[in-house]
């Protein structure tokens, strides 16, 4: 079994985790990226250069890599590539390549924060209220227990880019005019949590959950966090994912505000904070390999990791002699 990890960048640990898991099967981990000097390329068994995600030939380079390296499955790592890959699921199916993420309709929901809230709300779960107009937002403030500050940001934004914090109606209207396809949300953040979830690719059952409280973010990615076992949050997440229909790895962001929990974002892929989960024994890589080998994973029963363990990321250096980049 050969697995292609896309847009690997500096995610050396992710490559190491899947290599440790797959090595007993005789398979290979192939890292792909558009930058020939991405360090994770050199941590894999093999690597291939891909076109950038926004390049019109991105999918062609993916297909070529899959054929050249005899790829059996693709694990996407960044937000932009997931919708492009799922839209071409039939093409991947035709060459025998499994895509490790959820179905296209759910991926489409996750790529637009307004659709995300509407989906969460439709299922009857508490999401962060999200609106596209000033009028809807003012009505919310009049009718419910929310107030300024508010957040205005692009509906399809990523990594905390383009966010405005507004304290009154004048600032709100100004921010909405400055952003294409804006969404407006109340600032519901006393505490922020990241929840890593794995749902079996074969039977759709919940397999594992890891919860962490976030304390420091860098470019939208968790840099410092602490493991938690919160029964109320666990009950919310397990109930939601069982109703929602996702499969594979999920990265879910949640806020606690005034003693209540709200689901903020759902990412149908590995999040940057997965490192914490893996080091605590939640081995999603093994679950993926099991599924790709036709084996169902045991369903989730209870949290088995200890609370109060910190994850603290730090930098490392890699030295390699690199030949001239080749396609």
pLDDT digits 0-9 by tens, 235-268 = 999 999 999 999 999 999 999 999 999 999 999 9
**At residue 153, does pLDDT exceed 70?**
yes
The mean per-residue pLDDT over the stretch 175-190 comes to: 89
**What CA–CA distance (Å, rounded) separates 28 from 18?**
9
When pLDDT is cut at 50, 70 and 90, the band that residue 147 belongs to is: confident
**3-state secondary structure string across the chain:** CEEEECCCCCCHHHHHHHHHHHHHHCCEEEEEECCCCCHHHHHCCEEEECCCCCCCCHHHHHHHHHHHCCCCEEECCCCCHHHHHHHCHHHHHHCCCEECCCCHHHHHHHCCHHHHHHHHHHCCCCECCCECCHHHHHHHHHHCCCCCCEEEEECCCCCCCCCEEECCHHHHHHHHHHCCCEEEEECCCCEEEEEEEEECCCCCCEEEEEEEEEEEEECCEEEEEEEECCHHHHHHHHHHHHHHCCCEEEEEEEEEECCEEEEEEEECCCCCCHHHHHHCCCCHHHHHHHHHCCCCCCCCCCCCCCCCCEEECCCCCCCCCCCCCCC
Confidence at 13, pLDDT banded by 50, 70, 90: very high
With 70 as the cut, is the pLDDT of residue 158 above it? no
Which of 130-144, 168-182, 287-301 is the most confident on average? 287-301
Mean predicted lDDT score pLDDT of the chain: 93
Q: Quote the tokens at residue 262.
A: 């709200």
The residue with tokens 């493991």 is 227
Burial of 298 (0-12, 13-18, 19+ CB in 10 A): exposed
- pLDDT tens figures, 195-218: 999 999 999 999 999 999 999 888
Q: How confident is the model at residue 15 (pLDDT cuts 50, 70, 90)?
A: very high
- Determine how many CB atoms are found less than 10 A away from the CB of residue 143: 8
Q: For residue 160, is pLDDT > 80? A: no
Please state whether beta strands 98-99 and 221-228 pair in parallel, antiparallel, or not at all (unpaired).
unpaired
Phi-psi region of 83 (alpha: psi -120 to 50; beta: other; left: phi over 0): alpha
* CB-CB contact of 61 with 86 (8 Å): no
Residue 167 near residue 149 (C-beta atoms within 8 A) = yes
Of the chain, the percentage scoring pLDDT greater than 70 comes to 97
Q: What is the pLDDT of residue 219?
A: 76
C-alpha torsion 55→59→21→296, nearest 10: 130
pLDDT given for residue 142 in this prediction:
82
pLDDT score at 241: 96
Residue ranges and CATH numbers for the domains of the chain are 2-99 (3.40.50.20), 129-186 (3.30.1490.20), 189-312 (3.30.470.20)
> What pLDDT is recorded for position 325?
63
Query: For residue 185, what pLDDT is reported?
Result: 93
Model pLDDT, residue 327: 46
What band does 43 get if pLDDT is binned at 50, 70 and 90?
very high
Cβ-proximal residues to 14 (8 Å cutoff; 6+ apart), any chain = 5, 8, 40, 77, 270, 274, 275
């Amino acid at each position: 079994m050969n697995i292609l990890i896309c847009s690997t960048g500096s995610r050396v640990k992710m490559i190491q985790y899947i290599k440790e898991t797959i090595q007993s099967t005789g398979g290979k981990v192939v890292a792909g990226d558009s930058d020939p000097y991405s360090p994770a390329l050199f941590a894999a068994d093999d690597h291939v250069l891909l076109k950038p995600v926004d390049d019109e030939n991105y999918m062609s380079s993916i297909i070529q890599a899959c054929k050249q390296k005899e790829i059996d499955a693709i694990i996407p790592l960044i937000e932009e590539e997931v919708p492009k890959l799922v839209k071409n699921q039939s093409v991947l199916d035709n060459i025998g390549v499994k895509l490790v993420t959820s179905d296209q309709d759910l991926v489409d929901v996750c790529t637009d924060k307004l659709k995300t809230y509407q989906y969460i709300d439709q299922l009857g779960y508490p999401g962060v209220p999200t609106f596209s107009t000033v009028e809807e937002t003012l009505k919310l403030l009049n009718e419910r227990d929310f107030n300024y500050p508010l957040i205005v940001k692009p509906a399809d934004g990523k990594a905390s880019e383009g966010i405005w914090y507004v304290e009154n109606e004048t600032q709100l209207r100004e921010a909405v005019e400055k952003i294409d396809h804006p969404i407006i949300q109340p600032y519901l953040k006393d505490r922020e949590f990241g929840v890593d979830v794995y749902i079996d690719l074969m039977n759709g059952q919940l397999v594992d959950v890891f919860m962490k409280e976030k304390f420091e973010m860098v470019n939208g990615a968790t840099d410092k966090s602490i493991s938690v076992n919160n029964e109320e949050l666990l009950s919310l997440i397990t109930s939601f994912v069982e109703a929602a229909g996702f499969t594979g790895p999920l990265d879910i962001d949640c806020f606690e505000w005034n003693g209540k929990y709200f689901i903020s974002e759902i990412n149908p892929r590995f999040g940057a904070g997965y490192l914490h989960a893996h080091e605590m024994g939640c081995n999603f890589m093994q679950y993926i390999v099991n599924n790709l080998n036709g084996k169902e994973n045991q369903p989730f029963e209870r949290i088995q990791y200890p609370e109060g363990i910190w994850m603290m990321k730090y930098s490392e250096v890699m030295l390699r002699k690199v030949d001239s980049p080749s396609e």
